[in-house]
Amino acid sequence: MVEIVSKIGIECMVNGKLSRFHAYPIARLLDVLREELKLTGTKEGCGEGECGACAVLMNGAIVNSCLVPAIETDGADIRTIEGIATGAQLHAVQEAFLECGGAQCGMCTPGMVIAAVALIERHPHPGDAEIREGLAGNLCRCTGYQKIFAAVVRACEPAARPHSGKR
């Protein structure tokens, strides 16, 4: 057990705010978010990039934060589940999850919402195959996915666009 590095200073944007923290260079972004920045919405499900519970948006693209080393986040733009709603106004995806029963135990939900948001940003009106492919990296053990698919469809409906002022 030999220590060969110290923590380094890192600066990046997290949910629109400049964040500065210290971390070991190879520390996982997941742990930096949860422990340094106290953003515990992003979850650890597997630590091997298989379950998607740790998914966040990094420079606009979905990534598994358990596989991103801290040093790679320097200068990056990170968006977590805490940054999806706008204040008290939920994102259309979040509203849809509530209406359609897309969350049961809720543990996969932050990553799943991130994946759905990323999917809709790429495909504003995804068909069934695109939804399945877009969410295939996020495992859910509770729902059997059916109501998550329904929530994505609902979120894309014209009345439910983000920031539409609904509810």
- Which tokens is 61 given? 């693209």
Contact 55, 64 (CB under 8 A): yes
Q: In the set 24, 37, 77, 130, which binds another protein (CB under 8 A)?
A: 24
Does residue 45 interact with another protein by CB under 8 A?
Answer: yes
Does residue 18 interact with another protein by CB under 8 A?
Answer: no
Q: Which of residues 95-134 bind another protein (CB under 8 A)?
A: 97-110, 113, 115, 118, 131-134
Minimum CB–partner distance for residue 37 and another protein (Å): 13
Q: In the set 10, 42, 117, 160, which binds another protein (CB under 8 A)?
A: 42
The conformational region for residue 60 under phi > 0 = left, psi -120 to 50 = alpha, else beta, is left
* Whole-number Å distance between alpha carbons of 15 and 20: 13
Count of positions on this chain that bind another protein (CB under 8 A): 84
Q: Which residues of 52-76 are buried (b: 16+ CB within 10 A; e: fewer)?
A: bbbbbbbeeebbbbbebebebbeeb
Q: In the set 22, 46, 157, 164, which binds another protein (CB under 8 A)?
A: 46
Does residue 76 interact with another protein by CB under 8 A?
Answer: no
